[in-house]
A and B are shown apart, each in its own frame.
Chain A
Amino acid sequence: QVQLVESGGGVVQPGGSLTLSCTVSGFPFTTYAMYWVRQAPGKGLEWVATISNHGVNRYYGDTVRGRFAVSRDDSKNTLYLHMNSLKSDDTAVYYCARATRDTSGFYCDSWGQGTLVTVSS
């Protein structure tokens, strides 16, 4: 079955860097776009980034653009989120999600369990 497993979360100091991974199985990774979505403690969902299949196009939310970078390694069935210049506001659970596309756009039809990133001194 479809599985997405995030890893790499932890505690990092303000201004630091961290890379999250999302390893997938059960579907042809290369043919799907992928999302990163985060959720701060007690808050709602916030879109972070999207990468198209094959990694040609990459898009970012306003709050992370210029600091975060999304990438993928199709040979390893793995999605990455490289996070730099981290701030306390980046503290959140980070989810990866598979994005299926139809004529109306993307929807996230499978999600991982999330990995917690805490930015604190």
Chain B
Amino acid sequence: QPVLTQPPSASASLGASVTLTCTLSSGYNNYKVDWYQQSPGKGPRFMMRVGTGGIVGFKGDGIPDRFSVWGSGLNRYLIINNIQEEDEGEYYCGADHGGVPNFVAVFGAGTKVTVL
């Protein structure tokens, strides 16, 4: 099953840009991952799915245009442009693997985003 690796923290000044990275383990180049946002004290929120060609499908409900994604090789990126205070929180990537009877779902450890 894939392992998803995320740096523990990232920061950017208000109005600047930041790129979050989710790295798939070797051999999973063609996998797509899902990005989730978790604001302090709240449940996760689906943002969008990303493959090597960029976004797959549609953004989650209410996700602003300043959020975008890209993928290359084993890396899947979430880009936040013009970062706002409400963007602070934890960001997780997730993926699933296999099917009947060996389905498994995995999450990265999360990246905590701070707006300076």
Which A residues lie at the B interface, using CB under 8 A? 35, 37, 44-47, 50, 57, 59, 61, 95, 97, 102, 104-114
Contact = CB atoms under 8 A, between A and B. Distances in A.
Main secondary structure of the interface of A (DSSP, over half): strand
| Residue among A37, A102, A105 with the highest chain B CB neighbour number at 10 A | A105
Nearest to A104: B32
B71 interface: no
Main secondary structure of the interface of B (DSSP, over half): strand
Chain B contact residues (Cβ within 8 angstroms of A): what range? 20 to 34
B56 interface: yes
Interface of B: 32, 34, 36, 38, 42-46, 49, 51, 56-57, 60, 90, 92, 94-97, 100-101, 103-110
B108 A108 contact: no
Given A44-B108, A47-B105, A50-B103, A108 B46 contact: yes
